């Protein structure tokens, strides 16, 4: 996997004055894909784990626009990283075929998800063992 296709933190420019701040995120400029779908997660308790899947085709950028959360990503080859999302002008780029788990949501957390594809349930891998078999060419 090339460096550009690895999960990584991203920082978006923010503009502000005494009135507050504005953060702009544009597809194919600030993030490496055209945005086809936007959704957000809120109201999840601190002990809830969301995600628990990989995607065959979709790439994502996750941004906590309010509150905080953590995201654990695994590539199936022994590499695992935990990212803390705690600033509304930062996000995580997640390429396709990365296992993701979102958790440790603050009470006020709103996790914005930008996706490169429209929703297709068939491209989701929801079993970690199946994900590992695909990564290692066994499926």
The 3-state secondary structure of 71-132, one letter per residue:
EEEECCCCCEEEEEECCCCEEEEECCCCEEEEECCCCCCEEEEEECCCCCHHHEECCHHHHH
Q: Which of 53, 89, 118, 136 is catalytic?
A: 53
- Judge whether 53 counts as a catalytic residue: yes
* Locus of tokens 């600033």: 87
**In degrees rounded to 5, what are phi and psi of residue 61?**
-125, 125
Active site residues: 53
């Amino acid at each position: 996997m090339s460096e550009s296709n690895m999960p990584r933190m991203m920082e978006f420019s923010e503009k502000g004055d005494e009135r507050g701040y504005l953060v702009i995120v544009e597809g194919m400029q600030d993030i490496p894909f055209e945005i086809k779908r936007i959704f957000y997660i809120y109201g999840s308790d601190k002990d809830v784990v969301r995600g628990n899947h990989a995607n065959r085709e979709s790439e994502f950028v996750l941004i906590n626009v309010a509150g905080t959360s953590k995201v654990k990503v695994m590539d199936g080859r022994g590499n695992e990283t935990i990212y803390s999302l705690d600033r509304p002008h930062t996000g995580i780029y997640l390429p396709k075929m990365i296992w993701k788990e979102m958790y440790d949501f603050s009470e006020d957390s709103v996790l914005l998800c930008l996706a490169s594809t429209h929703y297709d349930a068939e491209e989701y891998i929801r079993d970690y063992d199946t994900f590992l078999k695909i990564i290692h060419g066994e499926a």
